[in-house]
Amino acid sequence: MEYTIVLTEAQNKALSYVVIDPQEWIRNAIVVRCDIAIDEIFKEECERISSEGGTISGTKEEIVLAAPIRTLREIEDERDAQRGADLLDLEQQQAT
């Protein structure tokens, strides 16, 4: 995957003030955050498989890629939909 970000001149100057190589710092920050999430997903998936009596096989990457997880966007969309439904129910109850 490739992502692109755009900084203003002021943001770039400010980042250059606190880091030697802004491009490398940004890349490293993202990679470290991804590695943390990979470790979390791997741990949770191994626990899930074990609790269901399954066998854990494959590399960490394979296990993470095969994990039946939802994205944070999907989770937030479901919460928003539920909040909307709850609000509608409340409004209907108040109307009666």
Does the pLDDT value for residue 89 go beyond 90?
no
How many structural domains compose the chain?
Answer: 1
In a domain, residue 2? The reply is: no
In a domain, residue 33? The reply is: yes
* 67, 41 Cβ separation under 8 angstroms: yes
In a domain, residue 93? The reply is: no
The continuous run of DSSP H or E covering 68 comes out as none
* 52, 44 Cβ separation under 8 angstroms: no
Does the pLDDT value for residue 24 go beyond 90?
yes
What domain range is 46 assigned to?
Answer: 9-68
Q: What is the reported pLDDT for 61?
A: 97
How many residues are present in the chain?
96
Mean pLDDT computed over 13-29: 96
Residues 31-62 pLDDT 10s: 999 999 999 999 999 999 999 999 999 999 99
Q: What is the reported pLDDT for 38?
A: 98
Does the pLDDT value for residue 88 go beyond 80?
no
Q: Which residues contact 16 (CB under 8 A, 6 or more apart)?
A: 22
